[in-house]
């Protein structure tokens, strides 16, 4: 089946009830449900409209870990994996370091190919993003892959041997 990759970089916020939202430049703080993108609605839309089997959801914003929490709550035909720049209750750095590391993983940079087999696996990218030295900069990046996710496929060939 098809795999969907969703990437969001911007702002994140929570309402008074703690519900997480991805926020664009024109969202209004007092009207988040009407003007921002509720994290739960991302999953609702995917489950209604996406016909594939796997979804890799990535976000570089405050409270982006809400993606992982919501994925774990779901009992879905879609296998979700999430890579996020922060925990669900933590702000992010706003310096886009997470995005830079994510892109280097997708580009197949050799330093992300931890087992040096010439392929960058999703788990290797997650492990790289969670490295202690990067954690100091990234504000607790998170990787969530439910046990039945089926998200073990290679992301790309690494730069090894290029």
Give residue 162's pLDDT band: very low, low, confident or very high (50, 70, 90): very low
Q: What is the DSSP letter of 112?
A: G
**Which stretch of DSSP H or E encloses residue 54?**
strand 54-60
Residue 84: C-alpha distances to residues 16, 58, 93 (Å)? 22, 5, 12
Give residue 132's pLDDT band: very low, low, confident or very high (50, 70, 90): low
Residue with tokens 């954690």: 135
Distance, in Å, from the CA atom of 133 to the CA atom of 136, rounded to the nearest integer, reads 6
Check residue 134 and give its pLDDT: 52
Which tens digit of pLDDT belongs to each residue from 31-45?
Answer: 888 888 999 999 999
Which tens digit of pLDDT belongs to each residue from 66-118?
Answer: 998 999 898 999 999 888 888 777 666 666 678 888 888 888 888 888 888 88
Residues pairing with 127 in the sheet: none
Q: Are 86 and 97 in contact (CB under 8 A)?
A: no
């Amino acid at each position: 089946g098809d795999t969907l990759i969703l990437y969001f970089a911007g702002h994140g916020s929570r309402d008074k009830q703690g519900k997480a939202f991805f926020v664009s430049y024109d969202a209004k703080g007092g009207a988040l449900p009407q003007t921002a993108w509720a994290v739960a609605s991302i999953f609702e839309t995917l489950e209604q409209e996406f016909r594939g089997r796997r979804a890799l959801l990535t976000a570089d914003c405050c409270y982006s870990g809400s993606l992982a929490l919501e994925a774990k709550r779901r009992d879905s035909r879609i296998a979700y994996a999430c890579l996020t720049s922060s925990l669900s209750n933590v702000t992010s750095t706003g310096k886009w370091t997470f995005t830079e590391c994510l892109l280097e993983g997708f580009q197949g940079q050799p330093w992300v190919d931890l087992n040096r087999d010439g392929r960058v696996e999703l788990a290797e990218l997650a492990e790289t993003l969670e490295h202690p030295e990067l954690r100091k900069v990234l504000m607790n990046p998170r990787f969530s892959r439910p046990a039945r996710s089926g998200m073990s496929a290679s992301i790309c060939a690494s730069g090894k041997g290029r």
